[in-house]
Amino acid sequence: MQTILEYSEQHKNDMKETLIRLVQAESPSRNKLLSDRCGQVLADLFEELVEGQVKVIEKETVGNQYRFTVGSGSAQILIIGHYDTVWDQATIPLREENGVLYGPGVFDMKGGLIVTLWALKALKSTGIDLTKKIVFLVTSDEEIGSSHSRALIEEEAKKSELVLVPESSISNSGSVKTFRKGIGIFKIEVNGIAVHAGINPWQGVSAIDELVLQLQKIKKLDDREAGISVNIGTISGGTRTNVVADYAEAMIDVRFTTKVQGQELEAALRSSLPFSQRAVVTITGDINRYPMEETKEVLTLFNELKEIAEGHGYVLQKGGSGGASDGNFTATLGIPTIDGLGPMGDGAHAVHEHILLGNLPYRAALIAELLERHLTYKEGI
């Protein structure tokens, strides 16, 4: 019997061809027509390669979503991915150069979708007993906040013992992601009292002066060592130089490493009191995603991957990201989640987006062998 890696290596060219098919079907998040075409290509590939069950989750404004299933049993393993990309149609060309494939979404994350399909195919083709249900959920709106898929992802995660996310790996190194920061987006609005800046300036209340003081206080929440960043992304207010501003606002992005930090940041922001008693300060917004924390279950998963990689003569490392993925949702529910399982490459959301074609078989084997290990466990991880 062939090993999984041998099987994958043998299908190296098929992997490339299927990836090209998927990348050619461009899929900007906000273009339903194109997205649906891409979703259909993916569903066709799943049926051709894996021959499991396909459930289409129809969506009105974004591309349809897919729940692919193979294997059976009471336990479930979930794999999540998205086929939408940040690229409008015909923005960057698909091209191959010295074993490197460039193209829209090739790294984030169509390469990851393809290695997952081939991992599932390899499991079936090498005769591995699929004693658990493997659900591969592919959504269409990750790049625009996942509001059309979050509930579905959470529902499937709750039924699962672990979640694999074949999102792009860490640029150039191929390292997997064992943590991702959480994100909060807040708006601070200040209402003051407008008056003439020359005639009676002290009778007014400058919303801008108040906002400046508020932002200086908020900026103190930034703590590099603790992995907390506070970015004041936009600021606006006032009307003209000779008027004391009656309104000013700013948008703030906070990133944090633990759930507790997120809760503390939110509480600190919401409790802001005005410096000037006559100013009104309003904070809106919320924590958009809690972090994917590096728990001991996640480290166990990483160590298994590392062992598999070593068996193939590769060194696999781990890292994290300040950017979130749908893995943040599943991790927040307490389901062990490991991310960044996609192929080696670079340039997510950038014009040089690419993957290394020679790396596809190894990444497919990595996912397949991790699944294989978990198919033989009775319960839990």
Contact between 355 and Zn ion by CB under 5 A: the answer reads no
- For residue 34, what are the CA distances in angstroms to 27, 37, 138? 5, 5, 16
**Residue (221 or 356) nearer to Zn ion, CB:** 356
**Active-site residues: which are they?**
84, 142
> Contacts with Zn ion in 187-246 (CB under 5 A)?
none
* 297 part of the interface to Zn ion, by CB under 5 A: no
- Retrieve residue 208's tokens: 């801008």
Query: Minimum Å distance from CB 251 to Zn ion?
Result: 23
Identify the DSSP state of 161.
Answer: S
Q: Which of 54, 27, 7 is nearest to 367 (CA)?
A: 7
In the list 15, 109, 190, 269, the residue contacting Zn ion (rule: CB under 5 A) is 109
Question: Based on CB atoms, which residue is closest to Zn ion, 62 or 75?
Answer: 62
* Smaller CB separation from Zn ion, 106 or 366: 106
What CA–CA distances, in Å, run from 217 to 186, 188, 232, 269, 278?
A: 15, 12, 12, 10, 18
The CB-of-181 to Zn ion minimum distance in angstroms stands at: 15
Q: Which is nearer to Zn ion, 4 or 106 (CB)?
A: 106
Instruction: Report the DSSP beta bridge partners of residue 183.
Output: 255, 289
At its nearest, how many Å lie between Zn ion and the CB of residue 82?
6
At 171, give phi and psi (nearest 5°): -45, 130
Provide the sign of the torsion angle of the four alpha carbons 16, 17, 18, 22, taken in this order.
positive
Asked if 108 interacts with Zn ion (CB under 5 A), we say yes
Length of the chain: 381
- Closest to Zn ion by CB, 265 or 360: 360
DSSP track, 41-90: HHHHHHHHHT--EEEEE--SSS--EEEEEE--SS-EEEEEEE--BSPPTT
CB of 347 to Zn ion, least distance (A): 13
Any contact of residue 266 with Zn ion (CB under 5 A)? no
Which among 7, 2, 63, 22 has a CA at the least distance from the CA of 342?
A: 22
Instruction: Supply the minimum distance, in Å, between the C-beta of residue 34 and Zn ion.
Output: 17
80 binds Zn ion per the rule CB under 5 A:
no
Nearest 10 degrees: Cα torsion 86, 87, 88, 92:
170
Give the range of 161-169, 182-190, 304-312, 327-335 binding Zn ion by CB under 5 A: 161-169
Q: Which of 148, 113, 122, 116 is nearest to 25 (CA)?
A: 113
User: Minimal distance in Å, beta carbon 110 to Zn ion?
Assistant: 10
Shortest distance, CB of residue 349 to Zn ion, whole angstroms? 9
Should residue 341 be labelled a site residue for Zn ion when binding is judged by CB under 5 A?
no
Q: What separation in angstroms does the CA of 3 have from each of 9, 25, 230, 252, 372?
A: 10, 32, 48, 51, 12
Neighbours of 49 (CB within 10 A): 19
167-186 binders of Zn ion (CB under 5 A):
167
Type of residue found at 346: D
The residue (of 88 and 264) whose beta carbon lies closer to Zn ion is: 88
The SS3 of residue 14 is helix
Contact window for Zn ion (CB under 5 A) among 48-56, 108-116, 169-177, 370-378: 108-116
Q: From the CB of 203, what's the least distance to Zn ion, in Å?
A: 53
Of 50-58, 150-158, 164-172, 331-339, which part binds Zn ion (CB under 5 A)? Answer: 164-172
Contact between 306 and 299 under an 8 Å Cβ cutoff? The reply is no
DSSP output for 291-323 = -B---HHHHHHHHHHHHHHHHTT----EEEESS
Question: Which is nearer to Zn ion, 125 or 328 (by Cβ)?
Answer: 328
Residue 84 is a binding residue for Zn ion (CB under 5 A): no
Residues touching Zn ion: how many (CB under 5 A)?
3
Q: Which is nearer to Zn ion, 109 or 281 (CB)?
A: 109
Kindly list the residues in this chain that would bind Zn ion in the complex (CB under 5 A).
108-109, 167
